[in-house]
């Protein structure tokens, strides 16, 4: 079997790449060893907050904004094409400060945030924060309020992308890629546990398993799994309409009616099991933010592995030394936000050898000694 493009990995990056290629008339084969959206892309919180986080402002700011723009587009296009409601919704966010250090950190980014088009960012004191969400802790000193942020249901989004892509000629198949076949500097196919698949371009969207490709490429790929766990809770009414955050913690009521609260940042290898310790850590942070949530009842606890590069930046673009091989991974905690932009970048490179997003900081070969 032959295909012009093989995409390894059926998460949000792989499926957006397939979708954008197919819309340009280039069908691909997506190879997923488990199930579509069965890892981080299917269990993530789905928060879309492009004005904060590691590398923002900084090298990740541009792709974060592009990701948000594309999410807005996809909320219309894939819903119309498939009939799947991906639960995209614009909603505000509150980033709480409990200490003077928290306040200085939040206010330090505020002037940059206020200059970004399409958003309203401001510092609010504690009383105003509680007017926005009445259950905010009395211990909070204040918060940064941002209007224009959003969220999405990641699993529904990946399913919609898959269905839309298949209707445009994309093939999704189960299998495990074990290497690449090449002719000199040019890739000519992928090797599978059973057989092989001819192609002229390969996209590696392996997520936290991207390090496996180091041996195939002759280039070190320094990506590791960052484990994150989330609680889904039946919480006292009314729903929490905004996203309430503090440090790496967050909580909001999702369209399923449950309060989603997270998350941990665990160096646990490839262990995807939920743990009581994470449950207690997330619960304590939730109650610190909103003490009334001490009465919330746990409905479901999830865990997933997010791909994180050793320097915290994406690996995005052409792989050096082998023509026709591209890599897209390293989204970390913002993989859902970045995903569509990463897929668009790779599709553009394959289709036209150019992209409008600056990629120098994300070179996949940068870890070579």
List, by residue range, all CATH 3.50.50.60 domains of the chain.
5-82+154-222+310-362
320 confidence band (pLDDT: 50, 70, 90): very high
Per-residue model confidence (pLDDT) at position 35: 77
The whole-number pLDDT of residue 43 equals 82
| pLDDT tens per residue, range 328-360 | 999 999 999 999 999 999 999 999 999 999 999
Beta bridge partners of 114: none
Arithmetic mean of pLDDT over the chain: 95
pLDDT average, residue stretch 163-173: 97
Name which of 65, 62, 77 is nearest 22 in CA terms: 77
- Confidence class for position 55, pLDDT limits 50, 70, 90: very high
Average pLDDT over residues 259-282: 96
CATH code given to domain 5-82+154-222+310-362: 3.50.50.60
pLDDT of residue 198: 96
pLDDT of 352 reads 96
In the predicted structure, residue 251 carries a pLDDT above the cut 70: yes
pLDDT of 2 above 60: no
| CA angle (306 as vertex; 56, 155 as ends), nearest 5 | 100
CATH 1.10.8.60 applies to domain 90-148+224-306? no
Cite the residue boundaries of each domain of the chain with CATH code 3.30.9.10.
90-148+224-306
Q: In the prediction, which pLDDT does 39 show?
A: 72
301 — pLDDT class (breaks 50, 70, 90): very high
Residues 10-39 have pLDDT tens digits of: 999 999 999 999 999 999 999 998 877 767
Q: What pLDDT, on a 0 to 100 scale, did the predictor assign at position 42?
A: 76
The confidence score (pLDDT) of residue 288 equals 98
Do 133 and 76 contact (CB within 8 A), yes or no? no
Distances (CA, A) of 302 to 261, 264, 297: 11, 11, 15
Mean pLDDT computed over 181-207? 95
Please return the burial class of 69, using the count of CB atoms within 10 Å of its CB with bins 0-12, 13-18 and 19+. Answer: middle
Q: Above pLDDT 70, what percent of the chain?
A: 99
Identify the CA nearest to 96 among candidates 149, 151, 140, 30: 140
- Tokens 């009581």 belong to 276
| Stretch among 30-34, 70-74, 107-111, 243-247 having the lowest mean pLDDT | 30-34
The model's pTM is 0.96
pLDDT of residue 40: 73
pLDDT at 71 over 80: yes
């Amino acid at each position: 079997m032959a295909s012009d493009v093989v995409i390894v990995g059926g998460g949000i990056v792989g499926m957006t790449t397939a979708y954008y290629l197919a819309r340009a008339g280039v069908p691909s084969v997506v190879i997923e060893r488990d199930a579509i959206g069965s890892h981080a892309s299917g269990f993530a919180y789905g928060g879309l907050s492009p004005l904060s986080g590691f590398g923002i402002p900084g090298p990740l700011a541009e792709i974060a904004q592009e990701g948000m723009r594309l999410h807005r587009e996809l909320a219309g296009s894939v819903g119309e094409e498939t009939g799947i409601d991906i639960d995209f919704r614009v909603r505000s966010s509150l980033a709480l400060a409990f200490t003077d250090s928290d306040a200085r950190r939040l206010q330090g980014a505020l002037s940059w945030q206020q200059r970004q088009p399409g958003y309203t960012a401001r510092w609010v004191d504690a009383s105003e924060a509680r007017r926005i969400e009445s259950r905010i802790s009395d211990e909070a000193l204040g918060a940064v309020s941002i209007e224009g942020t959003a969220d999405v249901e990641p699993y529904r989004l990946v399913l919609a992308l898959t269905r839309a892509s298949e209707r445009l000629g994309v093939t999704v198949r189960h299998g495990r890629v074990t290497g690449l076949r090449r002719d000199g500097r040019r890739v000519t196919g992928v090797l599978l546990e059973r057989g092989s698949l001819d192609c002229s371009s390969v996209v590696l969207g392996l997520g936290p398993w991207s390090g496996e490709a180091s041996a195939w490429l002759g280039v070190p790929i320094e990506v590791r799994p960052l484990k994150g766990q989330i609680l889904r809770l039946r919480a006292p009414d009314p729903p929490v309409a905004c996203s309430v955050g503090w440090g790496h913690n967050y909580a909001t009521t999702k369209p399923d009616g449950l309060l989603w609260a997270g998350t941990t940042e665990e160096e646990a290898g490839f262990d995807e099991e939920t743990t009581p310790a994470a449950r207690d850590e997330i619960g304590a942070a939730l109650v610190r933010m909103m003490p009334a949530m001490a009465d919330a009842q746990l409905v479901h606890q999830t865990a997933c592995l997010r791909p994180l590069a050793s320097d915290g930046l994406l690996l995005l673009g052409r792989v050096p030394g082998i023509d026709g091989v591209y890599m897209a991974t390293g989204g970390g905690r913002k993989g859902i936000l970045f995903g569509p932009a990463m897929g668009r970048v790779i599709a553009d490179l394959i289709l036209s050898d150019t992209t409008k997003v600056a990629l120098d900081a994300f070179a996949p070969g940068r870890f070579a000694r």
